[in-house]
Amino acid sequence: MAQRPQFQDLYVARRGAVRATAYLLCGDWHLAEDLTQAAFVRMYQRWGRLQHRDGLEAYLHRTVVRLWIDETRRRRHRDTLVAEPPETQEHAGPARPDPGLLRALRRLPPRQRACVVLRYFNDLSVAQTAELLGCTAGTVKSQTSRALDALRAHLGADVVDAAETKENSE
């Protein structure tokens, strides 16, 4: 039988990856770290049961997505609506990301954004994304398709590609 993972080892090894996913969902490194820490706290609470199972990273990602969706619901009630989403803090790096595309990504509804991040950043399949989000594969496909349509509209016609139907073949 394989060695069961130690909680601390898992924390050290995976916190960066989980935070990256959280950042792509929320667009704020501070909130991303809070969400990541909260996800590990949840895991710690259930560690007695979780430690015997596969898919611990999937659990973390699922938790962080759900925490973030909860957070968006809370913020929806307390935040002031503005004409344009405010720019969130971005740390300049050697390779500047496409700010327009990231802004477009952040304008997506939470579920669509989660589908895009999980599919194209975490490289999860449609089935894995559906399992993680607790919905059907068809929902993932339709949400992803709508998200890509929205992103394409923001990016302009230069990236229109007929290969978008690839997902439907999965």
Q: Which residue has the tokens 């720019």?
A: 87
| Under 8 Å between Cβ of 144 and 115 | yes
For CA atoms 91, 69, 140, 143, give the dihedral sign.
negative
CB of 167 to other proteins, least distance (A): 9
Among 28, 121, 135, 142, binds other proteins (CB under 8 A): 121
Residue 39 burial class via C-beta count within 10 angstroms: exposed 0-12, middle 13-18, buried 19 and up: buried
Contact map string, positions 36 to 75, toward other proteins, x by CB under 8 A = xx--xxx-xxxxxxxxxxxx--xx----------------
Contact between 28 and other proteins per CB under 8 A: no
Q: Whole-number minimum distance, CB 81 to other proteins, in Å? A: 25
Dist CA 45 CA 64 (whole Å): 15
Find the shortest distance in angstroms from Cβ 157 to other proteins: 10
d(CA 144, CA 66): 18
Q: List residues near other proteins by CB under 8 A.
A: 1-2, 4, 6-8, 11-12, 15-16, 19-20, 23-24, 29, 33, 36-37, 40-42, 44-55, 58-59, 90-98, 101-102, 105, 116-117, 120-121, 148, 151-152, 155, 158-164, 166
